[in-house]
Amino acid sequence: MPLSRLENFLINTDGNILYVNPSDLDATDSFDNKGNSLTRPFKTLQRALIEAARFAYQVGQDNDRFDRTTVLLYPGTHLVDNRRGLQVGLTGGVAKYRNQNDVDVTSSTDLTLNSGTVFDIENAGNVLHKLNSVDGGIIVPKGTSIVGLDLRKTKIKPLYVPDPEDTTVDRSAIFRITGGCYFWQFSIFDGDREVFFNNDYGTKRNPGFSHHKLTCFEYADGLNKKPVTNSTQEYTDLQMYYFKLMNAYGTNTGNRNINEFPSADDFQPNSPEFKIVGDLTANDFSIVELKADTSGSPREATVTTDVDHNLNVQDSFRITGVGGSALYEGSYKVAGITSTRQFTYTLPADPNQDNITIQNTEKVVIEADNVTGASPYIFKIHFWHVRNAC
């Protein structure tokens, strides 16, 4: 069989399996590699994770795919550059970047992935760490799984270990994980070569010191907005991550391009990434107004609650107590957020009333028992910590 035809059997065209093998002679993190072929794997886990996020992207608001990709790690040593990533803010409608020392580095920052991009994980100027969490750690996006082939021989080692004696250096993590992620069969070790250790990323040090300020797994924050100096708009850590990826896969990156931020903002966290299960609420929300807009398609209902609903797009809920207008009742997902007390959902057909007369029996019931979100699952992972790592 000709090699070109054989390769067709070795390529995963859907992008739901990405391969990482730093020992493979043909492994490369170059931009023209998608990592979905056994004949051309990625060299680093970080490169695979940003490609996993890219495979999940779809044009349009709140429709990115979730729980889609498995990253398969071959035996070997997998280095991760877990330094803090760039902050993203807006000033005068323009995206601005600030580094770990809160210095504006916009003029010297180009995240666009191309043939000249530095992907070398051991090069201090590599682009991969710039896409990390602003609190440190590589983000595992949109329910991605990381699966090793050999528990003992698939080794992950950090390149950043916070100085345990310097109070100006904050705690950090190796992974920043999201809902639906799955981790299986690999080992996490101490750093065993020179590592970054303080807020000056130009210097390294032998890692023969305590690793107690470095955790292995922490959540990527999709709820709390981060204040960014001189920014007129604040975003969560997860929002910043996807906005950075929008600019990494910008308009000059061929057929995989994404419209750049801030001209577009449709690469967003999925609700299950930061809401692990539906909210548990002591009291259901009372509805003070319920109406429908039947002028367009799809037909949309608008709900106004008596208190802040704290819902996000894609969250599950039930409408109860409407009575004769049964079409409004049932289980739905939030389609849009109008305000802190108002949201919309899509109706399956025209309702028999455009406006509901409120009888004080109408409720929004948050559905806590749903499968749209799931806790991250960490199974059969070894932690080899000689110096109190993790």
Domain match, 191 and 150 both: yes
Domain match, 318 and 193 both: no
Domain match, 186 and 71 both: yes
Domain match, 10 and 70 both: yes
List pLDDT tens digits, range 356-386: 888 888 999 877 655 566 788 999 998 876 5
If you average pLDDT over residues 213-219, what whole number do you get? 96
Q: What is the token pair recorded at 240?
A: 């910043």
Q: How many domains does the chain have?
A: 2
Domain match, 266 and 234 both: yes
Domain match, 311 and 239 both: no
Domain enclosing residue 19, as ranges: 3-272+374-384
> What share of the chain has pLDDT > 70, as a percent?
90
If you average pLDDT over residues 32-50, what whole number do you get? 95
> Is residue 277 domain-resident?
no
> Is residue 118 domain-resident?
yes
> Is residue 279 domain-resident?
no
Which of 110-119, 157-166, 307-316, 329-338 bottoms out in mean pLDDT, i.e. has the lowest?
307-316
pLDDT for the residue 325: 62
Domain match, 125 and 234 both: yes
Domain match, 291 and 145 both: no
List pLDDT tens digits, range 60-78: 888 899 989 999 999 999 9
Max avg pLDDT among 203-212, 266-275, 304-313, 379-388: 203-212
Domain match, 104 and 31 both: yes
> Is residue 349 domain-resident?
yes
Which of 6-20, 106-120, 327-341 bottoms out in mean pLDDT, i.e. has the lowest?
6-20
> Is residue 278 domain-resident?
no
> Is residue 198 domain-resident?
yes
Domain match, 306 and 356 both: yes
Domain match, 266 and 330 both: no
> Is residue 280 domain-resident?
no
Rounded Cα gap, residues 133 and 116, in angstroms? 24
List pLDDT tens digits, range 164-173: 999 999 999 9
> Is residue 218 domain-resident?
yes
**Is pLDDT at 390 greater than 50 in this prediction?**
no
Categorize the per-residue pLDDT at 181 as very low, low, confident or very high, splitting at 50, 70 and 90: very high
Which of 138-152, 199-213, 277-291 bottoms out in mean pLDDT, i.e. has the lowest?
277-291
Domain match, 27 and 175 both: yes
CATH of the domain at 347: 2.40.30.20
Indicate the average pLDDT of the chain: 89
Task: Give the pTM.
Answer: 0.84
pLDDT for the residue 369: 57
